[in-house]
Amino acid sequence: MRKSKSAAKYKKSGGTSSRRCKNCDHFRSSGKSSMGMCTEVIGPVSQNGISNEYRKR
């Protein structure tokens, strides 16, 4: 249920890009290799400005 609610909110914000980030958050809990990619975008990469592009999309 929580995932559905989050997905809808993120979908409205940006779209697949935003949803992907949220999905990564969920995977992070699982400990999948995807977490590394997402962590970069949410973490240090976000400061670089890549996150900005994702948000704009």
What are the domain boundaries of the chain? 2-56
Whether the model pTM is above 0.85: no
Per-residue pLDDT of 32-57, as tens digits, reads: 444 444 444 444 444 445 555 555 55
pLDDT the model gives residue 2 = 53
pLDDT the model gives residue 7 = 53
CB 37 within 8 A of CB 23: no
Per-residue pLDDT of 11-36, as tens digits, reads: 554 444 444 455 555 544 444 444 44
Exposed (0-12), middle (13-18) or buried (19+): which is 45, by Cβ within 10 Å?
middle
Q: Would you place residue 9 in the very low, low, confident or very high pLDDT band (cuts 50, 70, 90)?
A: low
